[in-house]
Amino acid sequence: QQIPPMYSALKKDGKKLYEYARAGIEVDRPPRDIVLKAIELKAIDEQQIQLTVTCSKGTYVRVLAEDIAKTMATLGHLTALRRLQVGDFKIDETIALADLEALPLEQRQTHLLPVDTCIDINAELTLSSEQCERVQMGQRLNVIDQLTDDLRSYITAAIDQHLTTGNKSAAGHQDIEDIKDDNEQQLVHEIPVDIRLINEQGAFIGLGAVSLNGRLQPKKLIQL
């Protein structure tokens, strides 16, 4: 667990911590769960150490640096921080903006990733041209006849995971099978799950929330 720093955007009683800090006020901050997967020593001398840290989202590396120093019975602070990877995106696979701008226009496209590369959702639903027009206008669709067995299984698994992790939902905290036994299956069928929306040409057009009852609500869309 890690105690967040005062200079952070986390809120306490509706006010950001850095606002308290700027006013010279320190407030109690509950520790937050983090995951440190690896800490690798890269260099060391009398004054500094260089580390490569693999950690979970929400880890404050400057606090980690201070905590490491305290563990060694001394004081320390962060002097530099460079993010090397976020998810599947690695810095050694990137191109500097200045280098990209220096390329001819036709060559720039080879360095650009599709807009949906950052979306970690595998399930998708192909919409007709008419359906695409309707979702672009924000309209809900009934896609009950387009739900394949694989897509139904994906939605059911996502609902099951959502309910069993203890998150609030229309169906409460129960397991999906318990809900069905309690004749509350309709509630389960109304829980929306995010999926990719694809047009007939195979292009990504955005995200939608679909439920087992076939109701599809557009969420985030892009203009092609």
Walk me through the domains of the chain, giving residue ranges and CATH numbers. 11-86 (3.30.70), 116-221 (no CATH)
Residue 169, pLDDT score:
38
Residues 6+ apart with CB under 8 A from 148: none
Q: Position 108: which residue type?
A: R
**Reduced to 3 states, what is the DSSP secondary structure of residue 106?**
helix
- Cα–Cα distance for residue pair 74/76, rounded to 1 Å: 7
Residues in the chain with pLDDT < 50? 168-184, 186
pLDDT tens figures, 64-80: 999 999 999 999 999 99
* C-alpha distance from residue 171 to each of 111, 141, 142, 161, 184 (Å): 45, 23, 22, 13, 8
How many Cα atoms occupy the beta-carbon half-sphere of 140 within 13 Å?
Answer: 11
- Cα–Cα distance for residue pair 110/104, rounded to 1 Å: 11
Residue 165, pLDDT score:
67
Residues 6+ apart with CB under 8 A from 21: 6, 7
Residue 87, pLDDT score:
87
The model's pTM = 0.65
How many Cα atoms occupy the beta-carbon half-sphere of 85 within 13 Å?
Answer: 10
Residue 115, pLDDT score:
87
Burial of 159 (0-12, 13-18, 19+ CB in 10 A): buried
